Each structure stands twice: as structure tokens, then as C-alpha cells.
Amino acid sequence: MELLPHLEVNPEKTPEASVIWLHGLGADGHDFEPLVPALSIARRLPIRFLFPHAPAIPVSVNGGYVMPAWYDIYEIQIERRVDEQQLSESAERVAALVEGEIQRGVPENRIILAGFSQGGAVAYHLGLSGRFDLAGLLCLSTYLATPAGQPGADRKRAATGPFPVFIGHGDRDDIVPVSLGVQAAEKLAALGWKVSLHRYPIEHTVSPQEVADIDQWLAEVLLTPQ
């Protein structure tokens, strides 16, 4: 499978961990690249950051306008309908990036899968599938586009134990309501995942306090012996 086009931010030393960060609807891999200098963990541990670009496809809720998107969204209501086949295809392409990092010498349990909004939904879809024993999931202003606990997840968790999940969401988010972030946190906690939910007085964006919390969480996950 051809790898998704992506940006890479490489450390000076051989990477000991990787973070694959998926952007939201209509953005691209450049969206979160500027956050790297703000993360002190990147100066304490050699981490490779990958920022993939989603393909450009028509998006139904935007009148069929072609834009970077991980999957089509049919409806924008709370119980939103999405193109699950496209979601799965995007998850497969991200899985190829994970496998690529493993082949480059980064163990799967040293790989963080991160995503904002639509990218976070893809991160959930792949991360909860049980395909990889990741270091953790970082899901921002997002939602579970498919039911939690996909086939294989119980088998993987039984073998390795659940890994940490950081969920960050703005209380004033009018694109992805905070109730969806809370719902995801409650569902995953009930399934045994190590969830930490962080709420902020912001809209559909990321705040400086959230970046600081992400930095602390990454340090806890990647620097603390598991």
C-alpha cells in the first residue's frame, strides 16, 4: 500500500518513539506541525512526529465541496452518519504508517496515535481495533464514529492490557459537542481503557493549557516505565 503523503519532524538522535498526528476536516498535515516546538517532551526524548495529509474528497455536509477529509460526513447531527467504508480505508492507510514506523525500528508500544476532530475519529477507529499495542491514543475535539470495542480489541487488551487514552475537548465546541467527548470517555472507561478526560473553556480548537496537558501526558506515557 502506498503511504499517505505526510510531513516528518525528526529528532537529531535516533527516534525512540513516534507520534502520528491526524488533522481535522479541511486542514492538512501542516495544521499541528507548529505544536512540536511547544512540547518539552520533544527536547527530553528523541521523537519522530508524522503529520499525514488526508486525500481530497467531496464532503456531503459541505454541499459536496472537495476538501481534505478522512471520510465523508452525511449528517452533522449529534448522531452523525459517516461513510464507514472510507473511515476504514483511512484507518488502513494510517495503519501502514504505524507499520512503517515499526519497520524503521520504533516498537508499536512506543507509538502514539493522535488526531483532532475527524482525524481523532480515525485514531479511535484504528487504535481501538486491537491491531496494535500502542503507547497511547491522543484524541482531541472528536467522537466515536463507530461503536467502541471493535472486533479484536478484547483479544489484544487481554494479552497486553489497555493503553492510556487522552481525551481533550472544549466546553464551547459548536462543531463537535463536548457531550460526544464525554460519551467516548465513559464508553472507553467502561471497557477498561485508561482514560483521562480534559475539558477546556474553548471552542473547536486547541488551547495553550491543552497543549501543556498533552505535553505532560506524553511525558507520563513515554518516560514512565509501564
173 is catalytic: yes
Choose the catalytic residue: 28, 31, 72, 173.
Answer: 173
Q: For the CA atoms of the chain, what is the radius of gyration? A: 16
Choose the catalytic residue: 133, 204, 207, 213.
Answer: 204
Q: Which amino acid is at 139?
A: C
| Interatomic CA distance for residues 145 and 5, integer angstroms | 24
117 is catalytic: yes
81 neighbors 41 (Cβ within 8 angstroms):
no
- Return the number of other C-beta atoms located less than 10 Å from residue 133's C-beta: 16
Strand order in the sheet with 17-22: 6-9, 47-52, 17-22, 111-116, 136-140, 164-170, 194-200
| Interatomic CA distance for residues 1 and 4, integer angstroms | 9
| Interatomic CA distance for residues 173 and 201, integer angstroms | 9
Beta bridge partners of 66: 58
Q: Which amino acid is at 56?
A: A
Whether the CA torsion 143, 99, 68, 8 is positive or negative: it is positive
| Interatomic CA distance for residues 157 and 154, integer angstroms | 5
213 is catalytic: no
Choose the catalytic residue: 117, 125, 129, 169.
Answer: 117
Active site residues: 117, 173, 204
